[in-house]
C-alpha cells in the first residue's frame, strides 16, 4: 500500500504535511485565482469581489431557513437579516483593522496591495461592505421580481 502522506520536503520536523490534494497543481491554481491571492488586484477590488460573493449567497439561508420563512414578509426579513450580518461582518473587519493596523505602521507602501497597511485594509473593508450590500440587494430584487425565483 502506497504512503500518500509524507512530511514536507521529507523533513519530519516540519509541521506541514503534503497530500495529493494539498500539493496538486489544480489546488494551487484554484487558490491562486481566489481574490485574496490574485496578483494585480487593488485592496478595494479584492474587498468588492469578496463582498459580492458573500452578499449574494448569504440571503439564501435567511430566506429559506429563517423563522419567518413561511410568512409573506419572509423574503424581506431574510434580506434585513442579511444586511444585519453584513454590518456585523464589516464591524469585525473594522475591529481587526484597528487591532492590527491601529498604530502608525511604518511599512513600505509597495505592500499596500497585499492588505498590510491601514489604508489598504480600510479600502478592502469598504469594498467588502459595498459589494456585499449591493449583491444582497440584487439577490433580493431577483427573488422578489422574477416569478420563477419566488420563495413561497
Beta strands in the chain (DSSP E): 6-7, 17-18
Could you give the percent of the chain with pLDDT greater than 90?
A: 47
> Please, what is the average pLDDT of the chain?
84
pLDDT on residue 9: 75
pLDDT tens digits, 123-152: 999 999 999 999 999 999 998 887 766 555
Comparison of pLDDT for 65 and 14, the residue scoring more:
65
Beta strands in 1-143 (DSSP E): 6-7, 17-18
In whole angstroms, what is the distance from residue 82 CA to residue 77 CA?
A: 9
CB 121 within 8 Å of CB 101: yes
pLDDT on residue 2: 59
pLDDT on residue 149: 60
Least confident window among 3-7, 9-13, 42-46, 129-133: 3-7
In whole angstroms, what is the distance from residue 33 CA to residue 47 CA?
A: 14
Mean pLDDT of the 49-62 span: 93
Residue ranges and CATH numbers for the domains of the chain are: 1-33 (no CATH), 42-149 (1.20.1240.10)
Amino acid at each position: 500500500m502506497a504512503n500518500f502522506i509524507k512530511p514536507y520536503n521529507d523533513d519530519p520536523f516540519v509541521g506541514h504535511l503534503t497530500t495529493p490534494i494539498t500539493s496538486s497543481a489544480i489546488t494551487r491554481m484554484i487558490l491562486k485565482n481566489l481574490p485574496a491571492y490574485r496578483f494585480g488586484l487593488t485592496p478595494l477590488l479584492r474587498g468588492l469581489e469578496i463582498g459580492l460573493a458573500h452578499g449574494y449567497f448569504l440571503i439564501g439561508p435567511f430566506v429559506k431557513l429563517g423563522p419567518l420563512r413561511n410568512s409573506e414578509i419572509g423574503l424581506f426579513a431574510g434580506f434585513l437579516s442579511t444586511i444585519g450580518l453584513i454590518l456585523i461582518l464589516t464591524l469585525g473587519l473594522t475591529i481587526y483593522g484597528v487591532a492590527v493596523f491601529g498604530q502608525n505602521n511604518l511599512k513600505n507602501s509597495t505592500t499596500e496591495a497585499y492588505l498590510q497597511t491601514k489604508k489598504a485594509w480600510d479600502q478592502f473593508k469598504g469594498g467588502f461592505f459595498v459589494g456585499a450590500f449591493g449583491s444582497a440587494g440584487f439577490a433580493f430584487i431577483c427573488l422578489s421580481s422574477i416569478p420563477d425565483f419566488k420563495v413561497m
